[in-house]
Amino acid sequence: MRAFNLPDFFCPFITRLNPNHDESWAESRRWLVEMDLIQGEEAIQRLDRSGFSQLTARAYPNASPYDLKIAMNWLIWLFLFDDQLDECCLGHQKEQADLILGRLLKLTLNADETNSAPFSPVERAFVSLWREYAHRLSAEQQNRFSQNIRNYLSSLRWEVTARSEDALPGVLTFIEIRRDTGAVRMVLDIIEFCLNDEIPALLADSLAMQLLKNCTVDVICMSNDLFSFEKERARGDVNNLVLVWEQNVGCSREEAANSIYRFIIDRQNLFIETRIKLETELREIAMTEAKREMIHQYVEGMAHWMRANLDFSLSTPRYADIEDSQQGKPLSWVENISAMQPELFQAPLQKE
């Protein structure tokens, strides 16, 4: 029995499936196998059912085949690495999780160096991805993306601590941390990569652009917490806004879910208002028409992401099909791509 009824989700934005999907997915799937991120038949089947490639193709509907392949590689790397912590005992044991998170954090500082010595599939794939991705970025773009990765990895440390201590923060604190745990800022950076251009620094740091990004991140992460609640509850995960809202506000889970959905609608509306204001401001800033159009496409890319995420969440079995697993039993659909002890990839304790 569900803890609450999902709302009838509304999203005012549109997108489409990138026509290069099949070509890019074939190349991405080949890379995933080559990197040993996908090994056994169970994991391969789960990947094929997931809809990750369609999500990426809807999030970047105008990307070239090569750029779309790189975007797919990044997104699926993120999903697979998330599962290492979200699905298994590893994500409930702080000292063990710190080992893999610490190694990845070091790699973000010297991924271009030959002495980085990645030794697990998830690390080797990260280094391979970074080297292929970063060569086309400016120094500023590289620094921003690296910082977003570090923020993401550091926030995962916080999540592991929360699981291991069964602790919940305040609502505002959780929302701020959730903006990093969702890794959405990273995937928004990839919009620039797919446009093969760069947002001017003055505009990238502006209040309007930061507000647009925060609205996008909040819509995606809060929607995810509604869709994934049942799955996370089955794994004993406390890192969900529904639980945080319920505990801090003192309401039912149904009321918490409804409040979060109203917040999502408010953030979508604020995005639309801010986008209109930004377009007005752009007409008063001296720049080429090509640069102005690129900025328009970047903002449109955020809208594409919100719609693509909703379409994905409504159709993927990732949240709808909750596999039965007993505490201490191996999870056949999660592979040890972090080179950690096998027992860390068993099912964690289920909680009510």
Average pLDDT over residues 298-310: 99
**Which DSSP letter does residue 346 get?**
B
The pLDDT score that the predictor gives to residue 244 is 96
Residue 350 domain-assigned (yes or no): no
- Per-residue pLDDT band at 323 (split at 50, 70, 90): low
CA pair distance 58, 306, nearest whole angstrom: 10
Residue 112 domain-assigned (yes or no): yes
Residue 234 domain-assigned (yes or no): yes
CA 102 to chain centre: 19
Residue 11 domain-assigned (yes or no): no
pLDDT tens readout for residues 184-243: 999 999 999 999 999 998 899 899 999 999 999 999 999 999 999 998 887 777 899 999
What CATH number is given to the structural domain containing 178?
1.10.600.10
Q: Which residue has the higher pLDDT, 163 or 221?
A: 221
The pLDDT score that the predictor gives to residue 346 is 47
CA pair distance 239, 63, nearest whole angstrom: 33
Residue 352 domain-assigned (yes or no): no
Residue 332 domain-assigned (yes or no): no
The pLDDT score that the predictor gives to residue 351 is 46
The pLDDT score that the predictor gives to residue 116 is 56
- 240 with 225: CB under 8 angstroms? yes
Residue 98 domain-assigned (yes or no): yes
Judged against a pLDDT cut of 80, whether residue 316 lies above it is answered with yes
Number of domains in the chain: 1
0.75 surpassed by pTM: yes
* Residue in 93, 84, 7, 24 with CA at minimum distance from that of residue 60: 24
Judged against a pLDDT cut of 70, whether residue 349 lies above it is answered with no
The pLDDT score that the predictor gives to residue 167 is 81
Range of the domain at 94: 20-315
Residue 131 domain-assigned (yes or no): yes
Q: What is the mean pLDDT of the chain?
A: 88
Average pLDDT over residues 171-183: 96
